[in-house]
Chain A
């Protein structure tokens, strides 16, 4: 259900720290209703691009447009309104350690919406159930949750305000393959039910194959390729070849060929 409207457009983005230039004229589009997988070597600057888009890092040059507006031109108030339309799942979850799971999910709603206590509780519980958690986790603190549960609560919090875009920073890292596959499935389901656009930084070849509509590849500070996984597998670029057709990539390649034959 990929349509052509662009929700995020990054043009010639330059971001650096001190003398180091991490992103060097990177250009990328995310379309409405798609799941974009964003890959690149460790330290290539995937998280940097994500953080630059959500405004946590300053840019040196270039333009970032979200929903067609350049965030740099907006005032404080308009910016807040845009920020309410996206949710972010940080790599380590970044749950507030002094709040319970339920309070973590309620936090953004409490800040931005005017809800009755009953509705606040019902909606937060509904979100927890939607990410596949039992209502029993409601009173638990992040320190008492397993790694997979932390990710799920963090996803529920990212979805708290019913955002249009969700940023996921390595959502399946640190999860076992079965939990990772379940998480991928969950992202797929939620994306369909809520009509989200998903920007997913990942290293997980299985996720790329299973859920991503398109893949963008970052290398040497630029987005060197973007397209569906078949394009990536067919590419002759040396980095893409070793990434997608290395030992681990090869298995997925075979899997896809088998599926195509059938």
Chain B
């Protein structure tokens, strides 16, 4: 590596500085130290010559450091000159004389308590705002749905079927697998605990109520939120980033009608179906475990099942499904429309979509539990 140097010769108030070597980016850290130290040590020099004749190579980094050195002297009221500049480097030095003239505006320092309060306030405002957005989209969706009911030809059937295939049909295997396993695990745990006080047979009652009323629909919703809600957010967000949504608007089309309605309609149809399939798979899983682990013959399990299932139990689970689908769809689309210009915001909103829809689905499930208890179902 080549050498760099800045040799100082002081005579009273006069100072001659001779720079030599390659003043380039690779040596910037070393050069900065030298320059700052020189400026500090000879701070009382009144008349400074900076001789650049010895410089072999000069790039923006080196040139800026020389400019900084010169400014350090001129700021203190001294005169500083640059001499020995080669023709090729002159343009660069002249260019750099113009930059960084305005002092950078520093934001006023705020205490960490204020910052913390600020963050809390923002977060609360954002939560409130996200509910406003949800209500807005729900309103727009209702208006569009009513319009579609009056003019059924406006429904984008192809789009609905396409999304139905993606969120419904393609989700069947993974839903079957996970609900089957959940049913099996619940049955195993139930048998293991109930056996200690000889109540194995009531495991079937527990499973039935748990699966049909709560677990089936919740598991399906969590899977759908993670699988399809995130996809909706990412799709709409990417369309927003690439101005496709603005393009739709300029063509006189309503993004809610074109993008949101088919997606949410597909979810509202698919989730009850998946819930039914999932609940059945969970009961199968429970039956298999009762037979192989609990020693309960399949006939006895079915017999018990018939006695334990009460139509409202089944209805409660199924009624909840479309509302939860609506919630997932609305949250996913709202978050999609909220995506800004950056890739990071797309990621952030997709995460927010999944997290918010799962939390809202659980909260909604709680509300339903109180409601059904109230009406005696």
Q: Are A194 and B344 in contact (CB under 8 A)?
A: no
- Which residues in A have their C-beta under 8 angstroms from that of B96? 126
Interface status of A123 (Cβ within 8 A of chain B): yes
Closest A residue to B96 by beta carbon equals A126
21 contacts between A and B (CB under 8 A): A113-B29, A113-B61, A115-B28, A115-B32, A119-B28, A119-B29, A121-B104, A122-B68, A129-B100, A130-B60, A130-B95, A135-B102, A141-B342, A143-B341, A143-B342, A159-B60, A161-B25, A162-B60, A162-B61, A189-B95, A192-B91
Closest B residue to A113 by beta carbon equals B25
Closest A residue to B348 by beta carbon equals A98
Closest B residue to A190 by beta carbon equals B95
- A97 vs B344: C-alpha distance in the bound complex, in angstroms? 7
- Which residues in A have their C-beta under 8 angstroms from that of B24? 162
B84-98 residues with Cβ-Cβ distance < 8 A to A are 88, 91-92, 95-96, 98
Interface status of B59 (Cβ within 8 A of chain A): yes
Interface status of A45 (Cβ within 8 A of chain B): no
- A97 vs B95: C-alpha distance in the bound complex, in angstroms? 29
- Which residues in A have their C-beta under 8 angstroms from that of B29? 113-116, 119
Q: Main secondary structure on chain B at its contact with chain A?
A: helix
Q: Using CB atoms and an 8 Å cutoff, list the residues of chain A in contact with chain B.
A: 97-98, 109, 113-116, 119, 121-123, 125-127, 129-130, 135, 141-144, 159, 161-162, 189, 192-195
Partner of B342 from the list A97, A109, A114 (CB cut-off 8 Å) is A97
Q: Are B341 and A144 in contact (CB under 8 A)?
A: yes
- A243 vs B292: C-alpha distance in the bound complex, in angstroms? 81
- A98 vs B24: C-alpha distance in the bound complex, in angstroms? 30
Known: A97-B341, A123-B61, A142-B341. 17 other contacts (CB 8 A): A98-B342, A109-B25, A113-B25, A114-B28, A116-B32, A123-B60, A123-B64, A125-B100, A126-B99, A129-B98, A129-B99, A130-B60, A135-B102, A143-B340, A144-B341, A162-B59, A194-B60
- Which residues in A have their C-beta under 8 angstroms from that of B102? 135
B85 to chain A, nearest CB (A): 13
Partner of A126 from the list B25, B60, B340 (CB cut-off 8 Å) is B60
- Which residues in B have their C-beta under 8 angstroms from that of A193? 91-92, 95
How many residue-residue contacts, CB under 8 A, span A and B?
74
Q: Are A194 and B341 in contact (CB under 8 A)?
A: no
Q: Using CB atoms and an 8 Å cutoff, list the residues of chain B in contact with chain A.
A: 24-26, 28-29, 32, 59-61, 64-65, 68, 88, 91-92, 95-96, 98-100, 102, 104, 340-344
- Which residues in A have their C-beta under 8 angstroms from that of B60? 123, 126-127, 130, 159, 162, 194
Closest B residue to A95 by beta carbon equals B342
Closest A residue to B31 by beta carbon equals A119
A191 to chain B, nearest CB (A): 10
- A116 vs B64: C-alpha distance in the bound complex, in angstroms? 14
Partner of B100 from the list A122, A189, A195 (CB cut-off 8 Å) is A122
B28 to chain A, nearest CB (A): 6
- Which residues in A have their C-beta under 8 angstroms from that of B59? 162, 194
- A219 vs B170: C-alpha distance in the bound complex, in angstroms? 47
- Which residues in A have their C-beta under 8 angstroms from that of B28? 113-115, 119
- Which residues in A have their C-beta under 8 angstroms from that of B98? 129
- A121 vs B105: C-alpha distance in the bound complex, in angstroms? 13
Q: Are A142 and B26 in contact (CB under 8 A)?
A: no
Partner of A141 from the list B65, B100, B341 (CB cut-off 8 Å) is B341
B34 to chain A, nearest CB (A): 12
- A104 vs B317: C-alpha distance in the bound complex, in angstroms? 52
- Which residues in A have their C-beta under 8 angstroms from that of B341? 97, 141-144
- Which residues in B have their C-beta under 8 angstroms from that of A135? 102, 104
- A130 vs B92: C-alpha distance in the bound complex, in angstroms? 10
> When A and B form their complex, which 5 residue pairs have the shortest distance between CB atoms, in order from nearest?
A143-B341, A97-B342, A98-B344, A162-B59, A129-B99
